[in-house]
A and B are shown apart, each in its own frame.
Chain A
Amino acid sequence: MEFVLLALIVIPLAVCPLFMVIPSQYPQLSRYLAALAGGALFGLSLLLFVAYEFDGGSGLRYELQWAWLENIGFLGENGITFYLALDGIGAPMVLLNGVVIFAAVFVSWNLANRTKDFFVLLFLLVAGVYGVFISQDLFFFFFWYEVAVLPMFLLIAVWGTSSEFKTFARTKEYGAMKLTLMLVGGSVLIWVAIMALFIEAGAGTYDMTVLREAALDEDFQKVVYPLFMVGFGVLAGMWPLHTWSPDGHVAAPTGVSMLHAGVLMKLGAFGILRVGMTLLPEGAEFWAPVLMAIGVTGAVYGSISALAQTDLKYMVGYSSVSHMGFVLMGLASMNQIGVNGAVLQMFAHGAMTALMFTSVGALYDQAHIRDMTQFGGIAKPMPRHTAFFTIAGLSSLGLPGLAGFVAEFHIFVGVFEAGYWWAGVLGVISAAITATYILRMLAKAYFGPLNEKWAGLKEMRLGEQFAAVLLIAMILLMGLWPAPFIDRISATVEMIPGIAG
């Protein structure tokens, strides 16, 4: 099983050169290869998720540790090791990444422009994301984190779409540059914090299992934790540093939006949990009220902004900001149920937002507009598409039986339990606003009398339908049978220092 874990990084990296040697006049070959690799990754991720069982300790399983640099310069024994292991929080994240990449390959099937280059970058991104979820060494954690950001610029700038509005324009280059610079800017803070942490711990190693045992000075934790919180927070879409997210997601091609909103944003929240809260528990406790306030502001701000959008993709983009606000609230509650909820929400939001982008992308490919006020009654020509989008929307607004409900319920219980009643109330209001914009969008664009202009719309492609079904399966699985998720997550969360029982 250790090598299954390794394969999650090796497969996507190994297919990159394969794509490059495929002559560009055979795009179909690239697509099959991508489907094959995506399928393999999905299968292996599912296998790892199913096989994972908590067995005490910090819950790390399938450990694989190779020396990379040690006993040299400032590095002591086990200085930097290539250290992979899976824990209960990583397991659902790995599954999520597997599902989304497999789905994204099918959604990107018809991409005709420089097909193979697209898949090279897409799989590089996926390798980075997997690397972050399973690395237990801080150096490699950061390494893969940057690898995940690396291909985003070209993915958006080359294959994206520019948007024109009445008074202004958002070009794809703008979205790509903004996204890349904000994310890398955030990682400067992370980098500085890592350097400081390494020195303070004085263990001569970046091994996170060792670093978490180091009793770090409380003041030091209080100073350094915000660097992690803000640095990772940028990628998590943390208000007020979320502005790259709607612009970037709108500019990106559908497959990339799916991965980006679905998985990449989770890296930010995952980083706060895995690095910030685990290694600096006292700092996390000190800053929890601030994180709570920021999280709830983001949740409310995101949902109000989404309410104001008529562009479908911007609406989904802002809804991501809002839902990531819930994740941050869950983390800030610092108790078991709240943090569980945060991880559940990461998974739930990943699946449903990927589904939303799939749907919006399928519609945009045909209609070439995304303005919901110009549609009307398109449930008639596109019944399946409507069903998929509706399920995603209902999960997003927290309908019981779907993934969103399970996650948000945990988060709100955790937030109230931790004594942040004000945040809880605002969070629930934000969920209500979510219901408003989702239902309003469905009413305007999908139901009601058919706008004859759109009578000629065709159903989503079969590949897109397959992707949607895959994602819906995940939403339903977690909505109806959350136990496998909660078992894995909560056993690991319990082991994080500073988490109240």
Chain B
Amino acid sequence: MSTSLEWGLLAPEFLLAGWAAFIILIDLFWGGLGKERLGWLAAIGAAAAGGLSLIWVGDTKEFGTLADINDYTTLFRVLFCGIGATICILSARYVKDRLLHPGEFYALILLAVIGANGMAAAHELLTAYISLELLSFSLYTLTAYAKFDLRSNEAGLKYMLLGAFSSAIFLYGIGLIYGTTGSTQFAVIGDVLSGDTSDIEWGMYMGLALIIGGLGFKVAAVPFHMYTPDAYEGAPIPITALISALAKAAGFAFFLKLFAVAFLPLIDDWRYFIAGLAVATMALGNLVAIQQRNMKRLLAYSSIGQVGYLLVGIAALSQDTASALVLHLIGYAVTNLAAFTCIILYYNWTGKEEIEDYKGLAQRAPYVALCLTIALFSLAGMPLFAGFTTKFILFQAAADEDMLWLAGVAAFFSFVSLYYYLIVIREMYVGEAEEKTRFPTPWLEYTALTVLIAGVFLIGLYPRPVLELAEDATATIFVSEELESGEDLVGVP
């Protein structure tokens, strides 16, 4: 079988891996290029890989029995490569000022993108697991990258130990599922589970629970979230952004595919379990965020809250919710990157990251304050911005699947979140800065920020193109189910 593998399908990943090696070599032999330019070079590689993956738009190909290359993969490849490229651009200044070994830093970001791509592409548990580990190990290293900073070391260690523990749990879950269903292929698992499962019930449920736990750790769902605030706070800020955007998006790309293809037949068994996790995650994330004084910790807890909204989409899984979920995920990634861009900019200027340090930002950098306000309002789900539209569509889709109560809880916590975002906005606009001088304008970061904010507005005001892409993408993971039961075609245009 190995002879028939179409290696060309993985060209973007090969490009990324090659580019990562290239970056390290450049750093080694041509240190004169400078830490900043190296970052831009890495961004070019990531962007090129994203562009390359567009070759397979509309295709449905399989890489052996390991992975799919279809619209779902393509959408997420482009998203992940975009996130990687953005993070490389945003890191440039930070790395120059504060970190050693730039080559490995950027190379690890590119490797993390490969892992993320693999998670979206895999249709087999072990491939997904290996991709997940590639992503995770890149992130563990990157989190601890500020090697003279104790917080960073502590964060990296915590992240790695807990991450390894959860990987073991996840792997045990895979083992049980393989043992009970006889396959690691998503589609085969789905077939087995839709038949008579009375013989294998215990092992199967156990495996499912362990997989949910392992995945819950990777996406930081309560009660598996404990590492998140420390990892977010300790990591270099661009890496915090990378964890919050890339790791979450990749986690959900995998979560969604696995549950839609393999575990959908058991939906009645796990949907309330996931719904419970969603409620706990939304409640804890949003309520604890209120207490935070540090901007990175605030965003850590707020991102936990956001994971809760995404879990709502999993709990009410159907094709409609899946595409709404993908839409929300894209909106969240863009918005969160915009918020982090502002925080990185501020940190580069001042080296500060407490919320009260943002006092008077509106006077010193009005554009950044405006953009951060927009991003935070979007995260809170206010209109004109992505958050309102994507949440509205996601919660309505969930409500359509008999999960109105959960959608209501989600709407409530979305309101709670407004409070802590407003506190940040209050500091920026109402507080008086001690110094009044304007900050210098780094054009490249400002351009990136403008593009991201434009994305926030685009998704908020005209979500149709993105939603259509999400619809096409999720259609590929729901194909088998539709063919099996004709009644599910109702309502699908």
* Chain A positions near chain B (C-beta within 8 angstroms): 68-69, 71-74, 139, 142-144, 146-147, 150, 153-154, 157-158, 173, 176-177, 180-181, 184-185, 187-188, 191-192, 195-196, 198-199
Q: Does B320 lie within 8 Å of A74, measured CB to CB?
A: yes
Q: Does B383 lie within 8 Å of A196, measured CB to CB?
A: no
Per CB-CB distance, the 7 closest pairs between chain A and chain B, nearest first, are A73-B320, A195-B399, A192-B408, A146-B383, A143-B383, A191-B411, A188-B415
Q: A73-B320, A143-B383, A188-B415 are in contact. Are A195 and B377 (CB under 8 A)?
A: no
Task: Mark interface residues in B135-166 (1 if CB within 8 Å of A CB, else 0).
Answer: 00000000000000000000000000000000
A88 to chain B, nearest CB (A): 27
Of B323, B393, B422, B429, the residue contacting A158 (CB under 8 A) is B429
Task: Mark interface residues in B283-320 (1 if CB within 8 Å of A CB, else 0).
Answer: 00000000000000000000000000000000000011
* Chain B positions near chain A (C-beta within 8 angstroms): 319-320, 323-324, 377, 382-384, 388, 392-393, 395-397, 399-400, 404, 407-408, 411-412, 414-415, 418-419, 422, 425-426, 429-430, 462-464, 467-468, 471, 491, 493
If A157-B426, A177-B426 are given as contacts, then 4 extra A-B residue pairs at C-beta distance below 8 Å, sorted by A number, are: A68-B464, A143-B388, A158-B430, A198-B399
Q: Does B418 lie within 8 Å of A180, measured CB to CB?
A: yes
Q: Does B382 lie within 8 Å of A72, measured CB to CB?
A: no
Residues in chain B near residue A198, CB distance under 8 A: 396, 399
A188-B414 Cα distance, complex, nearest whole Å: 9
A217 to chain B, nearest CB (A): 15
Query: What is the number of contacts between chain A and chain B, taking CB atoms within 8 Å?
Result: 90
Residues in chain B near residue A142, CB distance under 8 A: 392
Q: Does B422 lie within 8 Å of A153, measured CB to CB?
A: yes
A-B contact pairs, 14 of them (CB 8 A): A72-B323, A72-B471, A72-B493, A73-B323, A74-B320, A146-B388, A157-B430, A158-B430, A177-B422, A181-B419, A188-B414, A192-B404, A196-B404, A198-B396
Q: A73-B467, A74-B320 are in contact. Are A157 and B396 (CB under 8 A)?
A: no
Q: A173-B426, A181-B418, A195-B404 are in contact. Are A188 and B396 (CB under 8 A)?
A: no
Q: Does B396 lie within 8 Å of A195, measured CB to CB?
A: yes
A184-B382 Cα distance, complex, nearest whole Å: 10
Residues in chain B near residue A153, CB distance under 8 A: 422, 425-426
- Nearest residue in A to B319 (C-beta to C-beta)? A73
Q: Does B383 lie within 8 Å of A150, measured CB to CB?
A: yes
B424 to chain A, nearest CB (A): 12
A76 to chain B, nearest CB (A): 8
Q: A72-B468, A184-B418, A198-B396 are in contact. Are A146 and B382 (CB under 8 A)?
A: yes
B364 to chain A, nearest CB (A): 13
Of B388, B408, B425, B468, the residue contacting A154 (CB under 8 A) is B425
A68-B422 Cα distance, complex, nearest whole Å: 30
Q: Does B493 lie within 8 Å of A71, measured CB to CB?
A: yes
A259 to chain B, nearest CB (A): 18
A192-B415 Cα distance, complex, nearest whole Å: 12
- Nearest residue in A to B380 (C-beta to C-beta)? A184
Residues in chain B near residue A144, CB distance under 8 A: 383
Q: Does A147 lie within 8 Å of B383, measured CB to CB?
A: yes
Of B384, B425, B468, the residue contacting A147 (CB under 8 A) is B384
Residues in chain A near residue B464, CB distance under 8 A: 68-69, 72
Residues in chain A near residue B388, CB distance under 8 A: 143, 146
Residues in chain B near residue A68, CB distance under 8 A: 462, 464
Q: A69-B463, A71-B493, A157-B426 are in contact. Are A185 and B415 (CB under 8 A)?
A: yes
A158-B427 Cα distance, complex, nearest whole Å: 10
A157-B493 Cα distance, complex, nearest whole Å: 48
Residues in chain A near residue B408, CB distance under 8 A: 188, 192, 195
- Nearest residue in B to A154 (C-beta to C-beta)? B429
B412 to chain A, nearest CB (A): 5
Residues in chain A near residue B422, CB distance under 8 A: 153, 177, 180
A143-B397 Cα distance, complex, nearest whole Å: 17
